[in-house]
Amino acid sequence: MCRLFGLHAGPRPVRATFWLLNAPDSLSVQSRREPDGAGIGTFDAAGKAHVAKQPLAAWEDHAFAREARDLRSTTFLAHVRYASTGALTMVNTHPFEQDGRLFAHNGVFHGLEQLDQRLTELGVMDLVLGQSDSERLFALITAETRRAAGDVGAGIVQAIAWIARELPVFSLNFILSTATDMWALRYPAIHPLFMLERDPASPPDPPAPLDARSKRIHTRSTELARSPHVLFATEPMDHNPGWRPLGAGELVHVDAELAVTSTVPFPDAPAHPLTLADLEPAAAASQKP
């Protein structure tokens, strides 16, 4: 299953060091089930998006995955991919960038020919450079955001509502980020997605650095030891009891000042739900925990 991680540091850029595929047993795991891509997205002081990513396969160098990347940004978006749709190429590797925003997705859905027709009608098919369902999902959100005069939240709601109504859906979990705002969606109740509002002013004392770990993503920041921040992840990444799962259909928005808004615009299941049995073997394998 793909791994998502989002970090919103608030209004001031901070430095965070990322390691990908940092599990103690990662080398032995890689020999049996190799990740298909890894990437980190950030924003510079001018708000311009930057993406460092690499399509990884069993025959390729693991240096990118092992390398510590010392990055500075107000928001961070990391992703480790297990491919469900599309070749193991750079254009199919997350995060994706469109209109200065970054996007990473964990899930799969069908009906790409119908979606391509919709993207063509909306005049955004040129945004799709690869074969993945994820990039097409992002393109539909981008199109609807443009139609909503730049309102990303409205664009997300319109795009997901169309897919949930028109296409067969297994999972649409994603994180979308700008330099100032972050959105996270869990839909439907297939894959988990967790969030943590971390306030270093609360115990322990003295404040501890951020040190968030999963089997695939690890980030550390001493600069976040004394400032609030919000995290999203596919699984809780430390022992903080404040991690909470997003509900099915829940959309969370974090603004530039770390104000969190939660809505449930998708209370119902997709009109055409998929199960693992409906997926091709490679896609089904990519969606297992």
| Tens digits of residue pLDDT in 84-97 | 554 445 566 768 99
- The secondary structure of the chain in percent helix, strand, coil, rounded to multiples of 5, reads 25, 35, 45
pLDDT tens digit sequence for 22-68: 544 333 343 344 456 677 889 999 999 998 766 654 445 555 555 55
Structure pTM? 0.88
CATH number for the domain that contains residue 63: 3.60.20.10
pLDDT tens digit sequence for 173-219: 999 999 999 999 999 999 999 999 998 877 666 678 888 887 777 88
Q: In terms of residue numbers, what domain contains 270?
A: 3-286
List all residues 6 or more positions away from 203 whose beta carbon is below 8 Å from its beta carbon. none
The tally of domains found in the chain comes to: 1
Whether 233 and 174 have beta carbons less than 8 Å apart is answered as no
Query: Is the four-CA dihedral 202, 18, 10, 234 of positive or negative sign?
Result: negative
